[in-house]
Amino acid sequence: MKRVLHISKYYHPFVGGVEQIARDCVLALDGKVEQKILCFDHNPKSKDSVDSVDGVEVIRVGQQALISSQALGITYGKQMKKVLQSFKPDVIIFHYPNPYVAHYLLEYIKPESKLIVWWHLDITKQKLLKHLFTGQNNRLLKRADKVVATSPNYIDGSQWLASVREKCVVIPNCIDENRLAVTDKEKKLAEQIRAENKNKILCLAVGRHVPYKGFEYLIKASKYLDDRFVIQITGKGPLTEELHKLAKGDPKVKLLGLVSDEELKARLLSCDIYTFPSITKNEAFGLALAEGMYFGHPAVTFTIPGSGVNYVNINGETGIEVPNRDVKAFADALTKLADDSALRAQYGVAARARVEDNFLFKQFEHNVKELVADL
């Protein structure tokens, strides 16, 4: 039986996009290979520890600092060396970006171990880190046997992935069908939301209030919409207060704050159009976009060169894509869908089908098993 070591920044129960995909990889290989996970403990000032998640051993290294979103731990090198020597992995799945850990991986990895680099996103925001780790990225990609990207768009738009295109494999992220299963109580709540907004076009946006999510552009687009529309935005974050100020005086915009899973599913059920106004490649894929489409709603997105957003939502098939940050065009797209219920239904059916055909766990599981087996 093959031995697979997964290396992620953090791991469950920490909640994060990369961490969820790392766990999906482990679950996809369950029973087919012997597995271990190496990660940092997400609790600050923690000590090294070992526990088990889903029956798989998790080695958590204590972190002493967090610099530019990168965890640092003085015992990490020792722990990596130890697990590589004792476990002797046939395959290592390394979730990038994680440059501090990449240093030790490149130093201690054995020649016989196959390396899969799961490239979640380019480092773009931290300019210093981007340039500081140029040489390391080149060495990492040269050592990699396979490089996983979440969409062909990201390969085309990344200077790093484009340079090793022959090694790249596309494995899209997957949504959790079980988490999105709807109860009778949630259906009733959805009916109540519809009744409270009779004759309205309900638009929904979901996510943290951070710059790359582009919620300010959705609020600005609302200024061009008529009173049929209700723009619902869930979540909170550093920009929450600024978004409230921007929405002031526009009764169409409803900032809902953090909502329970129950309310979120009810709002996903009851909305007419799913809005996803992200604006940069920090939105590497758009899992929340796939979730909105899974509920059978057309999507409106901006064009983001090199992002998987425009791979998930297909312009003119599952929704409408408009030029980046063009709030008038975004409003026009919403109006077009509001005016044409048949088009909304057509795109909604196609949106659901695209997710079912491409972005469910069963496809992800098949892709991961095939990737590891080929090595």
Mean pLDDT for the stretch of residues 68-85: 90
H-helix or E-strand spanning residue 61: strand 56-63
Residue 128 is predicted with a pLDDT of 58
Mean pLDDT lowest for which of 84-93, 121-130, 158-167, 316-325? 121-130
Phi, then psi, of 20 in degrees rounded to 5:
-65, -40
Report the chain's mean pLDDT, rounded to a whole number: 95
Could you tell me the CA-to-CA distances from 86 to 4, 10, 60, 80, 170 in Å, in that order? 13, 21, 16, 10, 31
Each residue of 123-151: pLDDT tens digit?
765 555 556 778 899 999 999 999 999 99
CATH number of 3-174+360-374: 3.40.50.2000
CA–CA separation, 275 and 319 (whole Å): 10
- pLDDT above 70 covers a percentage of the chain that reads 98
List the strands of the sheet with 114-119, edge to edge: 49-53, 56-63, 34-44, 3-7, 91-96, 114-119, 146-149, 168-170
170 vs 132: which has the higher pLDDT: 170
Same fold, 3-174+360-374 and 177-358: yes
Residue 53 is predicted with a pLDDT of 97
Residue 130 is predicted with a pLDDT of 58
Residue 133 is predicted with a pLDDT of 78
Residue 229 is predicted with a pLDDT of 98
Q: Are 309 and 289 in contact (CB under 8 A)?
A: yes
Q: Considering Cα of 154, then 157, then 158, then 163, what sign does the dihedral take?
A: positive
Report whether pLDDT(174) > 90. yes
DSSP-assigned letter for residue 14: S
Closest-CA residue to 71 (of 116, 41, 95, 94): 41
Report whether pLDDT(66) > 80. no
Domain boundaries, the chain: 3-174+360-374, 177-358
Tokens matching residue 111:
């020649």
Q: What are residue 72's DSSP bridge partners?
A: 65
CATH number of 177-358: 3.40.50.2000
Mean pLDDT for the stretch of residues 195-221: 97
329: which residues sit within 8 A by CB, 6+ positions away? 322, 323
Name the pLDDT band for 330 (thresholds 50, 70, 90): very high
Quickly tell me which residue has 């046997």 as its tokens: 145
CA–CA separation, 277 and 236 (whole Å): 15
CA–CA separation, 160 and 147 (whole Å): 10
CA–CA separation, 304 and 279 (whole Å): 6
Residue 47 is predicted with a pLDDT of 92
Report whether pLDDT(275) > 80. yes
Helix (H, G, I), strand (E, B) or coil at 310: helix
Each residue of 18-55: pLDDT tens digit?
999 999 999 999 999 999 999 999 988 889 999 999 99
Distance of CA 120 to the CA centre of its chain: 8
Residue 288 is predicted with a pLDDT of 95
Name the pLDDT band for 298 (thresholds 50, 70, 90): very high
Is the whole-model pTM more than 0.85?
yes
Closest-CA residue to 160 (of 173, 172, 147): 147
CA–CA separation, 226 and 168 (whole Å): 46
Mean pLDDT for the stretch of residues 271-300: 96
- pLDDT above 90 covers a percentage of the chain that reads 89
Residue 45 is predicted with a pLDDT of 80
Q: What is the distance in angstroms between the CA of the first residue and the CA of the last residue of the chain?
A: 13
DSSP for 74-126, written as a single string? TTHHHHHHHHHHHH--SEEEEEES-HHHHHHHHHH--TTSEEEEEE-----S-
Residue 70 is predicted with a pLDDT of 77
67 vs 309: which has the higher pLDDT: 309
